[in-house]
Amino acid sequence: MTFPLEVSELQFRYQGSETNILRGVNLKVKKGEILALVGLSGCGKTTLCYCLCGIIPHVIQGDYKGKVLINGTSASEMKLPGIATKLGIVFQDPDTQLFAPVVEDEIAFGPENLCIERDEIGKRISEVLKQVGMERYRLGSPAILSGGQKQLIALASVLSLHTEIFIFDEAMSQIDSEGKRSIKEMICQLKNLGKTIVMVEHDFENLDIADRIMVMRNGILEPYNGVLK
């Protein structure tokens, strides 16, 4: 059986560091599953996300061992543009993701690079801005939005890619309670469409939509048993 995401014996050590942050991570995520990852700050959750989306080893280098498979193909052997057609990631800090001077350009950038037709891109922009409740900011600048609003635009940009796999790395951390409710509903709709979702979370109130919760401890993943340490 091929899983959308499969990780086996993954180890990683950042350049200049003496210890491995990932020490043999094993994981299989099914199609249509919402998997939540929890763990203490600095335990390696974001590093794992970077490995899942190919940023490690393609952009960030270090000592990398083991395998990450996206739909059965090794992420380290795929090119980043190829990975982007299969997997979208929303980073922890929206400022690292947003770069365009206008919100609609920001959202159009991904689909444009996937050579999607203009009319379809226009439709997707309207659709995703509605999904995140930011329609009125379409022609505004992301630079003057609040932290939470930037996070919503980063989310919209990734949703516009229409990928099969989504990774949300604390994607709701700056969003107000009303926004969180609607994002959680949206994630459930994605699940119902058969999308595969990995969400890193510190806020346990957001975990009610997860099918499975794993905790990152000492560089490995284990089923969550109510304890983070």
| Sites of contact with other proteins (CB under 8 A) | 14, 16-17, 38-42, 92-93, 95, 140-141, 144-149, 152, 170, 173-179, 202, 204, 228-229
Nearer CB in complex with other proteins: 123/217? 217
The CB-of-177 to other proteins minimum distance in angstroms stands at 7
Q: Is-contact 12 20, C-beta < 8 A? A: yes
The CB-of-97 to other proteins minimum distance in angstroms stands at 13
3-state SS class at 10: strand
CA 204 – CA 133 distance, rounded (Å): 23
Residue 16 CB partners (closer than 8 Å, separation 6+):
none
Nearer CB in complex with other proteins: 79/229? 229
The CB-of-43 to other proteins minimum distance in angstroms stands at 8
3-state SS class at 156: helix
Nearer CB in complex with other proteins: 42/223? 42
Q: Is-contact 50 60, C-beta < 8 A? A: yes
The CB-of-86 to other proteins minimum distance in angstroms stands at 27
The CB-of-8 to other proteins minimum distance in angstroms stands at 26
Q: Which residues of 97-136 are buried (b: 16+ CB within 10 A; e: fewer)?
A: bbebeebbebbbbbbeeeebeeeebeebbeebbebbbbee
Nearer CB in complex with other proteins: 152/159? 152
Nearer CB in complex with other proteins: 81/226? 226
